[in-house]
Chains A and B, each alone.
Chain A
C-alpha cells in the first residue's frame, strides 16, 4: 500500500562486499560438504553462482513467488531425503540449504547480518561432527574472515582489506580471554548431548576378542592410532614392549577365543626387579579391554585386573581414555591350578596327527620342556619359514598347513601354531594378543602405537618360572620386534628377506631419504599437536573441571561456585582491560614516564601527586612539604615544564632531564 510517505530505502551493499559474503558462505558450506549429500552441495553451489550473476551481471533477483516456490520444493526434497528436518545431520544439511537460499533475497545489510550469523552457527554446528585440531583451525580462520566481512558491511568505505582483517583479528583475540574463562568454568554436562545412535562406534578398527588366521594381518596397513604412551623415566627396550590385552586359551583348530569365565582367578604374581611407570591415552575402541605392558601390577580407578593378567575397563571405552599404571617386565607367576592346566593343554579332538608326530619326535630325544621350546623355535628358523604381511589363505587344518606347507605367515600364524605345538607336547600354553612396539614421537616425547602394531604371541607355563612369554615371530622376523612394523613393511616392500641382515646393514637399509624424513617428522609433529589438543581441550571434562576448582581452593565445588568464578573472572578481565586502556595514553611519552618516575620517588617523602594535578601546583605543594628538597624539585619540574609545555623537547634536554631524575635521591 502506498500512503504517499517516502519509503525508507534500506542500505544496499556494493559488489565487493557481496563477494566477501559469497566467499565466507562458500567456505562455511565447504566445511560441511563432506557430510551433506552431493546433490545438496551442488544445489547450494548453484545458488551461490546465481547470486554472483545477480550482482555482477545485473541479473534480477527472483520474485517473491519464485523464491517461495524454490524454497518449498528444496525443503520438501531435503525432508524426503533425511526423513526429518531436525537432528544433527538433517538440521545441518537444511541450514546449509537455507544459507544458499538466503542469497536469493540478499539485498540489505539486514540480510547480510542474517547470513553472517547463519555462518557462525553453521561453523559451531561443524563441531558436532568433528572436533579435531584441523577442523578447529579452519573454523577459526573462517570466523576471522566472517567477522571481517561483517566489518566491511558496516563500514564499507575508506579502509583497506588489510586494516579490516587486522581489526577483526584484534576483535577475536580480545575475545579470547573471555572464551578461555567460559571454556574453563562454564558448567560441563557429562555424556552425549546428541544421543548418538548405539552403532556410532561400530566402524572402529582394532583387535577383536578372538583370533583366526588373517584377523591381525588385516590391521597391518592401518596407521590409525590405537593408543599413546608416556613413560616416566627410562622406557623399556623394544623387546619388552608387549602390550597385552586378550588371553586366548580355547581353540577349535582354526579360531582362538577367550576361555569362559569362572576359572580360578589368576592375577597375582611375584614381581621381580623394578617396575615401569607409564600413562596410556587410549583411543576409543568400543571394547572393555585396556592395554598394559607385561605384566600390570596396579589397577587404576575404574578398571580391574582379570584372569590372564589383563586389564579391563568397567564399561566399553567410547571416549578417549587416559590411565596411569605400573608394570613389572620381570615376574614369576607361580603355580598353575589343575583347571588352568587342563584349559591350557586342550586341543581340538581332530588335532593333526602330523603335528603330533613332529612333537613326538622331539620328545623322543628326551628333551625337557625348555628343550622342546627350543626345538620348536629352531624348526621355524631352519625350515624356511618367512614372515609376510599377506599370508596365503589356508585350507583344511590351518596349523598343519602352515607348519608343513605354506610356511608363510603373520604373527597370528606363528603364535597359534606354536601354542598348538606346545600343547601337543604337554606344555600348558596360550595365545596372547595385543600390540607390540610403538614409535617414539620426539616432538611430544611419547610413543604412538598404531593398529598396525597389533600382534599375537605365545605364553608357555614352565614349572620353574610360571608363565613365560615366547614370541615365535621374533625368530623369523627379529626386525618386527626390534624396529617395529613400519620397518618391516618397508623392508618387505623392497623385497629384503627378514632375519638376514646384520644391524648396521639394517640401519642403512632403513635410513630414510631427506624428503621422507621431513614428511615423517611433520607427521609426528602433527600428531603431537593433535595429542596436545585432545589432552588440553577436548578431554577437559567435568572431572578435570572439578580438579581445577579444587586447585583453586573450592573443596566441594558446586555450580554456584562455578558461577562465582565466572563472574569474578569477567570482572577481573574488565578491570584489567580498563587499566590497560587508561594506562596506554599516559605511558606512551617517554618524558611522562620519566616524570612519573620522579613523582614515584617523591611518594617516599609522602608527597603524592594527584592524577589531575598540574606540574606547577605539584611543585608548589611539594616545596612547602619538603623545603629541604625545594631546589631539586623546582629545577626538575621546571625542566619538565620546559620540555612538555614549552615544547623544547630536543634530545639533549630530555636526556639531561632523565639523568637529573635518575640522580635525584631522597636520603
Chain B
C-alpha cells in the first residue's frame, strides 16, 4: 500500500470505524477522479466520512443539505447587484469547494439534482453567461436514503451513471460500535485530524493512476466482464461504455492503492460491485443486485 494513502486511511479509520473496505473504496473513487454515492440509512456516518476525507486530504469542504424546496441557485450561487461597482457580481454557492457533500440528494426535486449533476460532469458552472471553473480536485460525495423511504425523488439512471461508485457503510460491528460509544466526540476528533495530503499532491496521485499498466490480457478480461453484464438475462441492459471506462479507471486506482504498477483481474473484481451496482437494474429485486454481480463476476473466467 502506498504509504501516504495508508496513513490517510488510518486516520479516517479512527473516526469511521467498522468498515475499512468502504473507506478504501471511497478513497479509490477519489483517486479515480470519480464522484461517490453513499446509499445508507441516516446516522451511520455518511457526513462524517465526507468531512473526514476532506480534512485528511487537506481539501476545502462544503455541505449542501438537499430538501424538496432547494433551488439550483442554492447550489451554484447567484449574481447579486453590487452598488459600489454598479454591476452584478457572482456570489459562488456551496458547490465551489474541493469536496462537496450533497446530503440526501434524492430529497430534492429533479431540477435541483440536475444542477448539481451538471456541475459534476462539466466541472464548471455557468451563470448569466459566465463560466466559473470549479476547484481542482473536485469531488462530490452524495448521500442517498434507501429508495423506499418517504419523500424521495429517485435519481434517473442517466444521472446515477455520473457517479463512479456507490457504496454502503452499513451498521458498524459490535466491537466497532462499542468503540464508538466509549470513544471521544467525533466532532472534536474531526477537527483534530491532521491533513496528510494536499490538493496538489492529490492531483499528482490522480495522474499516477493513469500510469498504471493494463495489459491486453487484462483488457480482454474487462471486456469479458462488460459483455457479460450486457448479456446477463437478469439485468435490463448492461454497463455503458462510460461505466466500462470508470471500471477500468477504478481498477487502476485500486491497483495503485495496492502498491502495484499494473492492474490484475482481482482489482477489477474488487471495484466491480461498487461501480456496477447502481448502474445495473435487476429484473427482480434491487436488493439482490450485489449478489447477482458477484455471481456474474464468477461466471467470467480469468486466465
* A644 at the binding interface (Cβ < 8 Å): yes
Give the residues in chain A near B264, CB-CB below 8 Å.
614-616, 641, 645
Q: Which residues of chain B in 244-266 are interfacial with respect to chain A, using CB atoms and an 8 Å cutoff?
A: 261-266
Residues of B within 8 A of A647 (CB): 213, 215-216, 262
Tell whether A586 is near chain B: CB-to-CB under 8 Å. Answer: yes
- B 264-299 to A, binary, CB cutoff 8 A, 1 in contact else 0: 111001000000000000000000000000000111
Q: How many residues of B are counted as interface, with CB atoms below 8 angstroms from the partner's CB atoms? A: 19
Q: Does B300 contact A (CB under 8 A)?
A: yes
In the complex, the answer to whether A645 meets B266 with C-beta atoms within 8 Å is no
Interface string of A578-618 (1 = CB under 8 A from B): 00000000100100100110000000000000111111110
- Measured in the bound complex, the distance between the Cα atoms of B298 and A62 in whole Å is 61
Q: How far is the CA of A612 from the CA of B266 in the complex (A)?
A: 9
The answer, yes or no, to whether B73 is at the interface (CB within 8 Å) is no
CB of B261 within 8 A of CB of A646, answer yes
Tell me the bound Cα distance from A647 to B262 in angstroms: 9
Contacts of A614 in B (CB 8 A): 264-266, 269, 302
B215 to A646, Cβ gap below 8 A?
A: yes
Per the 8 Å Cβ criterion, residues 618-656 of A in contact with B are 641, 644-647
* A595 nearest CB neighbor, chain B only: B303
B4 within 8 A of A: no
Measured in the bound complex, the distance between the Cα atoms of B217 and A641 in whole Å is 10
B302:A611 contact, CB within 8 angstroms: yes
The docked-state distance in angstroms from the alpha carbon of A596 to that of B301 is: 12
List chain A residues, Cβ under 8 A from B302: 611-615
B202: chain A residues at CB < 8 Å are none
- Count of chain A to chain B residue pairs whose CB atoms are closer than 8 Å in the complex: 50
Q: How many residues of A contact B (CB 8 A)?
A: 18
Smallest CB separation, B273 vs chain A (Å): 14
Taking a contact as CB atoms under 8 Å apart, the answer to whether B299 and A612 are in contact is yes
Residues of A within 8 A of B298 (CB): 610-612
**Is B269 touching A645 in the complex (CB atoms < 8 A)?**
no
Q: B218 at the A/B interface (Cβ < 8 Å)?
A: yes
Closest to B299 in A: A612
Q: Report the minimal beta-carbon distance from B205 to chain A, rounded to whole angstroms.
A: 21
User: Are A586's CB and B301's CB within 8 A?
Assistant: yes
Q: Chain A 61-98, CB within 8 Å of chain B: the 1/0 string?
A: 00000000000000000000000000000000000000
User: With A644-B217, A645-B218, A647-B215 as given contacts, are A611 and B263 in contact (CB-CB < 8 Å)?
Assistant: no
- Indicate if the CB atoms of A645 and B262 lie closer than 8 Å: yes
Q: Which residues of A in the span 389-445 have a Cβ within 8 Å of any Cβ on B? A: none
Given the interface pairs A614-B264, A617-B266, the reply to whether A645 lies near B217 with Cβ below 8 Å is: yes
Chain B nearest CB from A227 CB (Å) reads 59
* Residues of chain A contacted by B217 (CB below 8 angstroms): 589, 644-645
| Complex CA–CA separation, A592 to B262 (angstroms) | 18
Q: Tell me if A645 and B263 are in contact (CB < 8 A).
A: yes
Say whether B215 contacts A611, CB under 8 Å.
no
**Residue of chain A at shortest CB distance from B221:** A614
Q: Give chain B residues whose Cβ lies under 8 Å from the Cβ of A610.
A: 298
Closest B residue to A644 using CB positions: B217
State whether A616 touches B266 (Cβ < 8 A).
Answer: yes
A611 contact set on B, CB distance < 8 A: 298, 301-302
Q: Which chain A residue lies CB-closest to B295?
A: A612
B303 touches A645 (CB 8 A): no
Encoded as 1 (CB less than 8 Å from any A CB) or 0, chain B from 191 to 208 comes to 000000000000000000
Q: Which residue of A lies closest to B265 (CB)?
A: A614
Residues of A within 8 A of B266 (CB): 614-617
In the bound complex, residues from chain B placing their C-beta under 8 Å from that of A646 are 213, 215, 261-262
User: Nearest chain B CB to A538's CB is how many angstroms away?
Assistant: 45
For window 16-62 of B, CB contacts with A under 8 Å fall at none
Asked whether, in the complex, the Cβ of B303 is within 8 Å of the Cβ of A612, the reply is no
Beta-carbon contacts under 8 Å, A270-290 to B: none
Q: Please measure, in the bound complex, the distance between the C-alpha atom of A589 and the C-alpha atom of B299, giving whole angstroms.
A: 20
Give the complex CA separation of A303 and B301 in angstroms.
64
**CB atoms of B261 and A612 under 8 A apart:** no
Closest residue of B by beta carbon distance from A642: B262
Identify the closest chain B residue to A617 (Cβ).
Answer: B266
With A641-B264, A646-B261 in contact, is A612–B215 under 8 Å at CB?
no
Known A614-B264, A614-B265; contact A645-B215, beta-carbon cutoff 8 A: yes
Contact A644 B215 (CB under 8 A): yes
- Sampled A-B contacts (27; CB under 8 Å): A589-B217, A589-B303, A592-B303, A595-B303, A611-B302, A612-B269, A612-B297, A612-B299, A612-B300, A612-B302, A614-B265, A614-B269, A615-B264, A615-B302, A616-B264, A617-B266, A641-B262, A644-B215, A644-B217, A645-B213, A645-B218, A645-B262, A645-B264, A646-B213, A646-B215, A646-B261, A647-B215
9 closest Cβ pairs, A-B complex = A614-B265, A614-B266, A611-B301, A647-B215, A592-B303, A646-B262, A612-B298, A644-B217, A645-B215
Known: A614-B265, A617-B266. 20 other contacts (CB 8 A): A586-B301, A586-B303, A589-B303, A595-B303, A596-B303, A611-B302, A612-B269, A612-B297, A612-B299, A612-B301, A614-B269, A614-B302, A615-B264, A615-B302, A644-B217, A645-B215, A645-B217, A645-B263, A646-B213, A646-B215
